[in-house]
Amino acid sequence: MTLPVGTAAPAFTARDTNGNLVKLSDFAGKTLVLYFYPKDDTPGCTKEACSFRDSYSEFRNKDIGILGVSRDDEASHQQFTQKFSLPFPLLADTDGSITKAYDVEKGTYSKRVTYIIDAIGKISQVYEGDNLNTETHGPDILAAIH
């Protein structure tokens, strides 16, 4: 079960693609798209990341942050980011602590789940399963956030 809408988003601190520490509190006061995905540079995960990449300027214009999270390490994230010119950070959740906190654990991977976290740190929307199309996920999220 994923965390339900209305739940306070669990705090986290993790290293991003470039080794910088990123915390949930860095996004206080703005909307954050926190998307979990199974593995760097696999077909579905690549489509999903590229859909966010292709919509990135619209997210920026609306002051919406995007963070991708998987169990891959920083080196894997760097390669994935460079290969597909991803303009947003990917968090290296190598110990699975964020994956567990957000209840998206599937063995040694993260399930494909997206949480929209509002400006006060509450989960306002959850996307998974049939309501998540990897090819159009970025635009779909933009359309759903008002």
User: Which residues share a beta bridge with 127?
Assistant: 114
Catalytic residue among 9, 22, 24, 45: 45
> Coil, helix or strand for 99?
helix
Six token digits for residue 142: 């933009």
Residue 45 annotated among the catalytic residues of the structure: yes
Q: Which runs of E-coded beta strand occur in the chain? A: 13-15, 21-23, 31-36, 64-70, 90-92, 105-106, 109-110, 113-117, 123-128
* Active-site annotation, residues: 45
